[in-house]
Structures are given as structure tokens and as C-alpha cells.
Amino acid sequence: MNTRITFVLTLCLTFALTVIAGAQTETTAATQPGVKTPGVTKRQKNQARRVHRGVKNKSLTKHETKSIAKDAKEIQQDKVAAKTDGTVTGAERKEIHQDMNQTSRKIYRKKHNSRSRK
């Protein structure tokens, strides 16, 4: 029973992260140059896929998954904040990518530690 609940929770989390990553206003992004962030969006989807696989093969615990989801939410908020003024600057992109690098390393470390889901 717990496995099913955990799987459904993970599936919902993965779906939510994918929707958040893909949620962009097409008209704003199309009319204003420098607002699109396809590299960040692609990395967000990739990281969500890695987390989903980690939950599926039980290499990520529930607590680890929540911690990674919190980081993903913060990255999404940074991405939205960077777009609010109409242009995503190089410095903002660099900061977002640095945060994503940290999250990527965190995903790797947590997937490869000795803890596993029961």
C-alpha cells in the first residue's frame, strides 16, 4: 500500500515539475527577445526524469525526494523572477545554471548513497 502511495506521489511530483518547466506564456516569449530559457527547461525535465527513475528503482527515499523537489521549486521561482523584467540576463542565466548544477549533484549523491526506499 505504501509503495503505491509513494509511486503516485512521485508520479504527481514528476508531472507537476514537467508542467511547471513547460509553463511559459507563448505570446510574451515570442514577442520579447531574451525571455526564452530552453536550456533551463530542458535541464528541469531531465532532472525530473532522473528523480522519477530514482523513486521507481527505490534509490531515493521519500525525504530525499521532497528535498530535491524543494530545490526544483526554488529554481523554477528563480526562472520566473528572471523573466519578470522582460529579459533574462547572462548573470541570471549563470545563477540559475549554478543552482541547477548543485541540484544535479544532489540528485546523484542521494541516488548513490546507501539509503533506499523500503
pLDDT at position 44 is 96
> What range does the domain containing 26 cover?
2-111
Q: Is residue 39 part of a domain?
A: yes
Q: Is residue 84 part of a domain?
A: yes
Q: Tens of pLDDT along the chain (118 residues)?
A: 666 666 656 656 666 666 565 655 444 444 445 888 999 999 999 999 999 999 999 999 999 999 999 999 999 999 999 999 999 999 999 999 999 999 999 999 999 998 888 7
**Rounded to two decimals, what is the model's pTM?**
0.70
- In the Cβ-directed half-sphere of 113, how many Cα atoms lie within 13 Å? 11
Q: Is 104 within 8 Å of 47 (Cβ atoms)?
A: yes
Retrieve residue 30's grid coordinates: 515570442
Q: Is residue 117 part of a domain?
A: no
pLDDT at position 27 is 44
Q: How many domains does the chain have?
A: 1
Q: Is residue 118 part of a domain?
A: no
pLDDT at position 46 is 97
Give the SS3 label for residue 60. Answer: coil
Q: Is 117 within 8 Å of 62 (Cβ atoms)?
A: yes
